[in-house]
Amino acid sequence: MCLYVKDLRLSFSDKEILKGISSKFGKGINLIFGDSGSGKSTLLKAMCFLLKFNGEIAFKGSRVDERWIKKHCKLVRQSGFYTEDTIVETVKKPFEFKYNRDKIFDEKKLSELLNFFGLGKFSVNDRVEKLSGGELQRLALIRALLLEPEVLLADEPTSNLDEGMSLKVYEFLKEFCRDRVCIVVSHEQYSKGFADRVYYLKDGVLNG
Ligand SMILES: Nc1ncnc2c1ncn2[C@@H]1O[C@H](COP(=O)(O)OP(=O)(O)OP(=O)(O)O)[C@@H](O)[C@H]1O
Ligand SMILES: [Mg+2]
């Protein structure tokens, strides 16, 4: 089980940020490191078709299109999200999207994940605006996990967490991604201990 990116190129105005990325991401945790501004978030957004790019994405040897990605790939964004909804409304919303219609929302699983990630003190009917930055970051991850995507992309998912909670997140992802492809952008050296592969983005090129 592999996700392939072939000669992915992306420019903003006249500046080429991604200069022909060709990489293979196998199952497990694929970590991407790189300087701030090197294009890590841009790469993940392009892989989810949130940005226009040139190049190809393939899964298990076959080229995939935007529709396939929307159904099977979930991105946890670096910037998180803002909503006035409750916790349960927020995590249920993606299940209403047409490409997620075959997925079933599991409220028990939500409670388990909230407890596991230290959010058990909240009721699912609490408003998301009550959550701190790190709590919101964990909720964004939980929202993606509940969809059980084949490919999980997480952009610095532990940047607002203390080390103990960050380790818990990586331990969880390690197990979750035993049979999935997970690509995680990280700045934290300790995350390498959980990685199946490590890549570096520099000068628009990804080396692994
Ligand atoms: N929508 C945009 N329009 C123009 N330039 C952009 C846009 N998004 C990102 N950039 C530029 O592209 C470059 C790469 O940005 P990106 O957010 O991918 O970096 P990053 O590696 O994720 O950095 P960080 O570690 O700080 O999150 C930066 O120079 C940024 O200013
Ligand atoms: Mg970024």
Q: What is the mean pLDDT of the chain?
A: 96
Residues of the chain with pLDDT > 70, as a percent, come to 100
Whether 78 lines ligand 1, by a CB cut-off of 6 Å, is yes
Q: What is the mean pLDDT of residues 49-68?
A: 96
Q: In what order do the strands lie in the sheet with 15-26?
A: 15-26, 2-12, 54-59, 62-63
Determine contact, residues 97/54, Cβ cutoff 8 Å: no
pLDDT tens digits along 143-156: 999 999 999 999 99
Nearest partner of 31 among 203, 202, 187, 179, judged by Cα: 187
Nearest partner of 40 among 191, 207, 202, 164, judged by Cα: 202
Domain 2-207: give its CATH code.
Answer: 3.40.50.300
pLDDT tens digits along 83-106: 999 999 999 999 999 999 999 999
Query: Which residues are near ligand 2, the ion (C-beta closer than 5 Å)?
Result: 40-41, 78
Whether 204 lines ligand 1, by a CB cut-off of 6 Å, is no
**Distance from the CA of 150 to the center of ligand 2, in angstroms?**
22
Q: Is the pLDDT of residue 82 over 90?
A: no
Instruction: Please report the pLDDT score of residue 81 as a whole number.
Output: 84
**Distance from the CA of 34 to the center of ligand 2, in angstroms?**
9
CA 127 – CA 65 distance, rounded (Å):
35
**Distance from the CA of 39 to the center of ligand 2, in angstroms?**
7
> Which band of pLDDT confidence, cut at 50, 70 and 90, is reported for residue 208?
confident
CA 170 – CA 47 distance, rounded (Å):
22
pTM exceeds cut of 0.85: yes
pLDDT tens digits along 19-31: 999 999 999 999 9
Determine contact, residues 34/208, Cβ cutoff 8 Å: no
> Which band of pLDDT confidence, cut at 50, 70 and 90, is reported for residue 1?
confident
Instruction: Please report the pLDDT score of residue 79 as a whole number.
Output: 87
Instruction: Please report the pLDDT score of residue 35 as a whole number.
Output: 98
Determine contact, residues 131/122, Cβ cutoff 8 Å: yes
Name the residue at shortest CA distance from atom 17 of ligand 1. 41
Tokens of 105: 């929302």
What residues contact 137, with CB distance under 8 A and at least 6 apart? 80, 157, 158, 159, 160, 161
Residue carrying the six token digits 């919303």: 93
What residues contact 201, with CB distance under 8 A and at least 6 apart? 32, 33, 34, 38, 39, 40, 43
What residues contact 40, with CB distance under 8 A and at least 6 apart? 32, 34, 155, 185, 201
Whether 41 lines ligand 1, by a CB cut-off of 6 Å, is yes
DSSP characters for 103-115? ----HHHHHHHHH
**Distance from the CA of 124 to the center of ligand 1, in angstroms?**
34
Q: What's the gap between Cα 114 and its chain centre?
A: 18
Q: What is the mean pLDDT of residues 121-127?
A: 98
Residues of the chain with pLDDT > 90, as a percent, come to 96
